[in-house]
Structure 1
């Protein structure tokens, strides 16, 4: 099931790797999306707003952890591409140790500071307690999230994108069943949705672990592989921290937008929540393509094949732009009809606001593609700081727009915060591409 991505046509390699990741990402979105659908339908719009108001906080915490674990395994992919299996296994052992340490720290920090963070974000009083209960359970289950992320990232580093997909499908179906049981049968509200999410994530992580033990001899570690290596850890942290911060920086901007929305009340929050979830489902193809390009670049840089990297970016551009145009049209013309999955009351008020959000983001899907593809592509090549700078650019664009939206109490400007962020980051990433390719050419000559 492992794949050598250094030989063959880039377009075919990227598509074969991307499609399972895309399907897997969609199912991963179901964890929170199904929560929203069932909560919105069976509990009500305010409960949906409670879950939605924590979305940016979840992205801040879980996105940071996702970035870290992905960064920890960049060297795994590079060593695999270079055929250095002993060193590859050492990176896996080190990544596992680092992941455990990070999980403990993040669980403690997030749970201690959560109430203050919700208050800082102007969470409406009528949804505060339900939002707090939901996010505290999610934070208590951080280890389950990290377990899946690190193991799936290791498998993908070896070119295996299908197995993580299979386990995500199973856990997503489990999440649906648990949501219905906890919310509809036991009337646990938003807290029930959180428990369903954590349990399902834990199951997907355990399934990955069992698969590796049973079917991936390349990842069978000996005692020496579990030895903590400071120099290797330093390199993994050097790649992981910027990637984690990149997600966190983006999340901070999203939290600023959420704060602006919270001022407007529960219905704009609910509309923005529904619109964001619809957009996220379609945008998972960009995330998957970015993951494919990252792994492809990492293996080819490990093998010293820079021209393959260049061709990989070109092939990704063809895939990404075509998909962006089609997706943008769907969101603008028909996206609002997906809203009925989430909204059960006050439809005449909420649905038009969802439509406004989808029109705003639908016009700017090409910049969203570039942000996902090129940022991840650079990270796979071993660059951590430069992609993080594009995250800072996003923060500036999103943050400034959010501040203006809050002052003017404008829902439209809140919806435009992300498109502005994508445009600013895209401009910077285009200039970075030429620098990175030139710099890597010099490095590979040495």
Structure 2
């Protein structure tokens, strides 16, 4: 799962690297700001798929294949329909979205051109995420990695062809990303249809089942809210960052890419932990859940501390991967970002673990509460501190929000742990 998501990040990372090096900081700022918006939008589809994946894992743990296949069918049509509606709406409200993000006039055209093309790939992204979550929930994490590997390499090759060779500018980077997304989305769909036939609903399972749909909505909607709230916080922070101008925007764009790679392993560890918890929940193995919680916390803390140390020590070289050496103001801003936020990845590592645990036992509402606490703290503090101490106030607000949510999440666990481990009654 970690390797797969690292490859998925190559879509936007490749755009960032090539755009920053071959077009300039203005285009880099546009791609970075678009990345925050797209992360928020994708989190909606991913949250729906992750929530459905919890139900898939529980039914697999119970060995209830009839209900599992019915759930797959209901979840697929629900998520694809939501994706289509959102996609149409996005094309209609592109300009209001850009105004909401306070995009500076000098990069407005860059960002709009990039987004219009990127929006065309949302259906492919949703398709890939659905089948990736499905395959992972039943124990197959290799195939999603294979398709991502192929599409990531294609994205890199097309970026290098479209931007420096064909000189299609920022539109070329977007086109390369969309083509690669459709390769992974359609590819994994065809794999499922040909190689996973035991999970394809039979004729008698293709009927509407209100109970199955209710269970999917109960898990998926809350997980979707949790995921989208988390990324909406980033979007609001992005709006504040945009108000500081192109230098801060470009620094934040590069910093977020480094963040993504730095704490992506613990994010995926939390997602894998959720599958572990939900499968054991369905099988009634309470002791394995308790042992898993302790072991997972220890692993997340150790990994996060080591990654923070590396990011803080090598902040300069990391920023220079994305920023030209002559853009000293952008480099200085980005290094300051990594020294402040990058030092506290332990907070987000533990928070991802808590999200996975509460989702895995069928109580995603608690994950939503933790997300709202983290989101509310970081946004309120960022908007309070930024006018006083500048951009550093934005960077400081984020880890404070992480740690406050951690305190509540672990406190809740230890107060209520005798009641947490049996599956919530959503089945």
TM-score range, shorter-chain basis?
over 0.9
Instruction: Report if the CA contact (8 A) 1:398-1:421 is conserved.
Output: yes
**Equivalent residue in structure 2 for 1:366, among 331, 346, 356:** 346
1:200 matches 2:177: no
User: Is contact 1:67–1:243 with CA below 8 Å preserved after alignment?
Assistant: yes
Contact map agreement 1:378 1:384 (CA 8 A) in 2: yes
2:141 paired residue number: 161
TM-score (ref. length: structure 1): 0.91
- Give the CA deviation at 1:437: 3.2
Distance 2:293 2:262 in 1: 21
Given that 2:351 and 2:406 are in contact with CA atoms closer than 8 Å, whether structure 1 keeps it comes out as: yes
Quick one: which of 17, 25, 36 aligns to 2:5?
Answer: 25
Aligned to 2:169: 189
Contact kept in structure 1, 2:362 and 2:424, CA below 8 Å = no
1:46-102 Cα offsets, whole Å, 9 max, x none, are: 000011112221122111111111112211110001111111111111111111111
Query: Which of 376, 396, 400 is 1:396 aligned to?
Result: 376
State the partner residue of 1:136. Answer: 116
Give the match's secondary structure for 2:314. Answer: helix
- 2:78 counterpart of 1:98: yes
Shift of 1:387: 0.4
- Quote the residue 2:317 is aligned against: 337
How far 1:255 moved relative to its partner?
2.1
Query: How do 1:318-357 residues align onto structure 2 when only pairs under 5 Å count?
Result: 318-344=298-324, 346-357=326-337
1:440 Cα deviation after fit:
3.4
Give the structure 2 partner of residue 6 of structure 1.
Answer: none
Q: Secondary structure of 1:141's partner? A: helix
CA distance in 2, matches of 1:168, 1:98: 24
Check 1:122–1:57 CA distance in 2 against 1; reply closer, same or farther (3 A cut): same
Residue by residue over 1:274-299, the C-alpha shift from the partner in whole angstroms, topping out at 9 and shown as x without a partner, is: 11101110111111101110100110
Q: Which residue of 2 aligns with 1:420?
A: 400
Match of 2:212 in 1: 232
Post-superposition offset of 1:435: 5.3
Contact 1:398-1:417 within 8 A present in 2 as well: yes
Using the TM superposition, name which of 121-130 and 337-346 deviates more: 337-346
Structure 2 counterpart of 1:282:
262
In the superposition, relative to structure 1, how do residues 381 and 126 fare at CA in structure 2: closer, same or farther (>3 Å)? Answer: same
Does the CA-based 8 Å contact 2:361-2:423 persist in structure 1? no
| Of 376-385 and 151-160, the range deviating more from structure 2 | 376-385
Comparing 206-215 with 127-136, which one deviates more in the overlay? 206-215
Which residue of structure 2 aligns with residue 306 of structure 1?
286
Relative to the length of structure 2, the TM-score reads 0.95
Count of aligned pairs: 425
| Structure 2 Cα separation of the partners of residues 79 and 159 of structure 1 | 13
Distance in 1 separating the partners of 2:20 and 2:397: 25
Query: Matched residue of 1:264: which SS?
Result: coil
Q: Which of 378, 387, 395 is the aligned partner of 2:367?
A: 387
CA shift, 1:406, in A, is 4.0
Contact 1:148–1:208 under 8 Å retained in 2: yes
Q: Distance in 1 between matches of 2:314 and 2:176?
A: 30
Structure 1 residue 180 displacement after superposition: 1.4
1:410 matched residue in structure 2: 390
Gaps of 5+ in 1: 1-20
* CA–CA separation in structure 1 for the residues paired with 2:424 and 2:46: 29
Which has the larger displacement, 223-232 or 359-368?
A: 223-232
